[in-house]
Amino acid sequence: MNIGENQIFSTEYNGFQIEIFYSDVYYAYCVRKNDFEDITKGFYTAREALSYAKRLVDGAR
Protein backbone atom coordinates (compact mmCIF):
# COMPACT_ATOMS: atom_id res chain seq x y z
CA MET A 1 0.00 0.00 0.00
CA ASN A 2 1.60 3.26 -1.12
CA ILE A 3 0.00 6.49 0.11
CA GLY A 4 1.66 9.82 -0.60
CA GLU A 5 1.09 13.29 0.75
CA ASN A 6 -2.45 14.63 0.20
CA GLN A 7 -3.78 11.12 -0.48
CA ILE A 8 -6.24 9.17 1.66
CA PHE A 9 -6.99 5.46 1.57
CA SER A 10 -10.57 4.94 2.73
CA THR A 11 -12.40 1.69 3.48
CA GLU A 12 -15.31 0.39 5.52
CA TYR A 13 -14.64 -2.36 8.07
CA ASN A 14 -17.36 -3.92 10.24
CA GLY A 15 -19.53 -0.82 9.92
CA PHE A 16 -16.72 1.64 10.74
CA GLN A 17 -15.15 4.06 8.26
CA ILE A 18 -11.33 3.80 8.27
CA GLU A 19 -9.09 6.37 6.61
CA ILE A 20 -5.31 5.98 6.30
CA PHE A 21 -3.21 9.02 5.44
CA TYR A 22 0.32 10.40 5.60
CA SER A 23 0.76 12.91 8.42
CA ASP A 24 4.00 14.89 8.83
CA VAL A 25 6.62 12.11 8.64
CA TYR A 26 4.47 9.13 9.70
CA TYR A 27 1.22 7.45 8.72
CA ALA A 28 -2.00 7.85 10.67
CA TYR A 29 -5.47 6.39 10.83
CA CYS A 30 -8.90 7.82 11.52
CA VAL A 31 -11.74 5.50 12.56
CA ARG A 32 -15.30 6.89 12.49
CA LYS A 33 -18.81 5.66 13.20
CA ASN A 34 -21.75 7.86 14.17
CA ASP A 35 -20.47 10.03 17.06
CA PHE A 36 -17.23 8.04 17.59
CA GLU A 37 -13.93 9.24 16.08
CA ASP A 38 -10.36 8.21 16.86
CA ILE A 39 -7.23 9.53 15.15
CA THR A 40 -3.83 8.02 15.90
CA LYS A 41 -0.51 9.01 14.32
CA GLY A 42 3.00 7.57 14.38
CA PHE A 43 3.01 4.46 12.19
CA TYR A 44 5.96 3.67 9.93
CA THR A 45 3.85 2.11 7.16
CA ALA A 46 0.30 2.46 5.88
CA ARG A 47 -0.20 -1.28 6.38
CA GLU A 48 0.75 -0.95 10.06
CA ALA A 49 -1.74 1.91 10.51
CA LEU A 50 -4.51 -0.13 8.86
CA SER A 51 -3.72 -3.14 11.05
CA TYR A 52 -4.00 -1.07 14.24
CA ALA A 53 -7.21 0.57 13.04
CA LYS A 54 -8.76 -2.86 12.45
CA ARG A 55 -7.66 -3.97 15.94
CA LEU A 56 -9.40 -0.93 17.40
CA VAL A 57 -12.62 -1.79 15.55
CA ASP A 58 -12.42 -5.45 16.56
CA GLY A 59 -11.94 -4.43 20.19
CA ALA A 60 -14.97 -2.12 20.03
CA ARG A 61 -17.26 -4.95 18.95
Specify the pLDDT at position 8: 95
**10 against 2, higher pLDDT:** 10
Specify the pLDDT at position 48: 97
Cβ 56 vs Cβ 38: under 8 Å? yes
pLDDT at 60 over 80: no
**Closest alpha carbon to 41 in 57, 30, 55:** 30
For the stretch 7-56, pLDDT in tens is 999 999 999 999 999 988 899 999 999 999 999 999 999 999 999 999 99
Specify the pLDDT at position 25: 86
- Reported pTM: 0.89
List the alpha helices (DSSP H) in the chain.
46-60
